[in-house]
Homo-oligomer: A and B are copies of this chain.
Amino acid sequence: MTKDQFLLPEDVTYLDGNSLGPLPKTVADRVMRTLQDEWGQMVIGGWNRAGWMAQPGILGDRLGRLIGAPKHTVVLGDTLSVKVYQALASALDMRPDRRIVLSDNGNFPTDLYMADGLIKTLDRGHELKVVEPETVADAIDETVAVLMLTHVDYRTGRMHDMVELTAKAHAAGAVVIWDLAHSAGAVPVDLTACQAEFAIGCTYKYLNGGPGAPAFIYVRPDLADHINPALAGWLGHDAPFAFEQNYRPAQGITRMRVGTPPVIQMAALEASMDIWDQVNMSDIRAQSIALSELFIQLVEASCPQLTLASPRDPEKRGSQVSFRFDHGYAAMQALIAAGVTGDFRAPDIMRFGFAPLYNDKADVKRAVAILADILENRIWDQPKFMVKAAVT
B264, A234: Cβ atoms closer than 8 Å: no
Other CB < 8 Å A-B pairs besides A22-B40, A31-B35, A210-B263, 16 of them?
Answer: A16-B44, A23-B36, A45-B341, A47-B211, A79-B233, A80-B259, A80-B260, A82-B82, A108-B234, A110-B233, A110-B234, A110-B259, A113-B233, A113-B247, A116-B246, A211-B263
Contact surface of A with B, Cβ cutoff 8 Å: 7-9, 12, 14, 16, 19-20, 22-23, 27-28, 31-32, 35-36, 38-48, 52-54, 78-82, 85, 89, 93, 105, 108-110, 112-114, 116-118, 120-124, 130, 202, 204, 210-212, 214-215, 228-235, 237, 240-247, 258-266, 268, 336, 341, 343, 345-346, 389-392
The residue on B at minimum CB distance from A214 is B262
- The quantity of this chain's copies bound in the complex is 2
Query: Which chain B residue has the least Cβ–Cβ distance from A39?
Result: B23
Q: Answer whether A85 and B210 are a contact pair too, CB < 8 Å, given A19-B44, A20-B44.
A: no
Which residues of B have CB within 8 Å of A262?
Answer: 212, 214, 262, 265
Q: How far is the CA of A94 from the CA of B372 in the complex (A)?
A: 56
19 residue pairs from A and B, CB less than 8 Å apart:
A19-B44, A20-B43, A38-B211, A44-B341, A47-B211, A79-B233, A79-B258, A79-B259, A82-B233, A108-B234, A109-B245, A112-B245, A113-B247, A117-B232, A210-B263, A211-B260, A212-B262, A241-B391, A242-B346
B28 touches A35 (CB 8 A): yes
